[in-house]
Amino acid sequence: MKIPMNLPNRITVLRMLMIPVFLWLMSLEGTAFRWLAAAVFALAAMTDIVDGALARSRSEVTVFGKFIDPIADKLLVLLPMILLTAGGSMWQVWAVMLMIAREIAVSGLRLVAAAKGVVIAAGWPGKIKTVAQMGVVVWLTLQVPLSVYALWIATALSLYSGIMMMIKHRDLLGETANA
């Protein structure tokens, strides 16, 4: 089977390829490299809006795009957050671990839903969470003094959106599986 590499899917793959560039720039010393890393991240984050809008406007929504886009989003946000908080306080690390736990739980819910033929689209709380997380990555990259507080706000939004999704789709989790 051939993977449909239309323009929206190529943009999504480009977003994934920008992650190692960001991580590499963060490994270099100097403020200029931090600013460049923030610019690369911001550009990658903007592709998240562009690829979806293009896919819908051009009627090029594909199964591959539906699969790879959320993975690209999670990698784009979580890998930099792990890097940026690893040397920080235990509370920063906890915040990121809570976000990772949320992503695993929501991905599990989506797998259960998919097995039952149900597609769970991202809702507004999840979209706001993603924007907040992306903003936090830029702030942490640029070492903005209030970035730790923004990290906790993004964590709260992350947990809220995950809990709301679980509540909304709790019926999918309550059914008995046939063995």
Q: Is residue 2 part of a domain?
A: no
Q: What digits encode the pLDDT tens for the residues 61-101?
A: 988 888 899 899 999 999 999 999 998 899 999 999 999 99
Domain tally, the chain:
1
13 CB-near residues (< 8 Å, 6+ apart): 5, 68, 72
Q: Decide if 26 contacts 33 (C-beta within 8 A).
A: yes
On whether residue 1 sits in a domain, the answer given is: no
CATH of the domain at 81: 1.20.120.1760
Contact 45, 76 (CB under 8 A): yes
pLDDT of residue 50: 95
Q: Residue 179's pLDDT band (boundaries 50, 70, 90)?
A: very low
